[in-house]
Amino acid sequence: MTDDTLRWRGGWARLGSWRGRPDVAYLSVGADRPPTPEIVDRCVGLLRGRGYSAVVTSALAMTDALPFIDAGFSVRERLHLLAHSMGDLPLPTHPTRRARRADRAAVMALDHLSFDGFWQLDDDGLTNAIQATPSSRFRLAGPRGQANGIAAYAVTGRAGHHGYLQRVAVHPDERRQGYGRAVVLDGLRWLRRHGATQALVNTQHNNAGALALYAACGFRELPAGLCVMGRSL
């Protein structure tokens, strides 16, 4: 199924299949002005008409979740939100390289090892992460001599002065070796070179490893987190 985009003054919502599934849809919101309950109801009607039986949202600020609650959504996952002020950024301890199309299969395999089923990306999901901002950087790090040489990857996005760590994954066997730190710091340094004044990242409440990685790279946790909403159709 193809994606739909609904627009309103101050925002948009993209509707499509969640991770390639025919029964579950996603509703991804990008907005300075969140949708009204009427817009959310319209999205639900479109997805129901296309045969989906459930829908999940992108990560939402708690205040932006209110119209979804009014439309029958409930919290599916709660997320920590962390910010980086783009101050002290040491050089990565491992080299990184640009991801190529030939790396996609290895990157997807790494992603599936790094996340549980709900959070795993398919190829379209990775493309959406790369294209979510006007400019992005997709980098890999890994030990020399390995067949694919991929121990970690990061997708970093920039929109104006705002930066986002869209996706970070580290192979379970290569954690605490500096590869995750390498791709995160590479992305932050790229953002600072291009004028970003802040970078944001979110992660699950129970992901202690990711929280430790981001803290080691200079992120601080913000008091207000995010949530992923969902409902049946």
pLDDT of residue 146: 56
- The pair of structure tokens assigned to 172 is 């379970």
> If you average pLDDT over residues 15-29, what whole number do you get?
87
Mean pLDDT, the chain, rounded, equals 90
- 105-114, 121-130, 187-196, 206-215: segment of lowest average pLDDT: 121-130
User: Among 132, 154, 102, which residue's Cα sits nearest to residue 5?
Assistant: 132
Instruction: Tell me what percent of the residues of the chain surpass a pLDDT of 70.
Output: 96
- Is the Cβ–Cβ distance between 52 and 233 less than 8 Å? yes
pLDDT of residue 120: 87
Domains belonging to the chain, first-starting first, are: 4-79+227-232 (3.40.630.30), 89-217 (3.40.630.30)
Q: How far is 77 from 134, CA to CA, in rounded Å?
A: 27
Classify 59 as helix, strand or coil: strand
> If you average pLDDT over residues 125-144, what whole number do you get?
89
Count of Cβ atoms closer than 10 Å to residue 62 Cβ: 14
Q: How far is 121 from 215, CA to CA, in rounded Å?
A: 24
Give residue-wise pLDDT tens across range 37-96: 899 999 999 999 999 999 999 899 888 899 999 999 999 999 999 999 998 898 888 999
Classify 197 as helix, strand or coil: coil
Q: How far is 219 from 85, CA to CA, in rounded Å?
A: 8
Give residue-wise pLDDT tens across range 140-195: 999 864 556 799 999 999 999 999 999 999 999 999 999 999 999 999 999 999 99
Is residue 197 predicted with pLDDT exceeding 70?
yes
Q: pTM (2 decimals)? A: 0.85
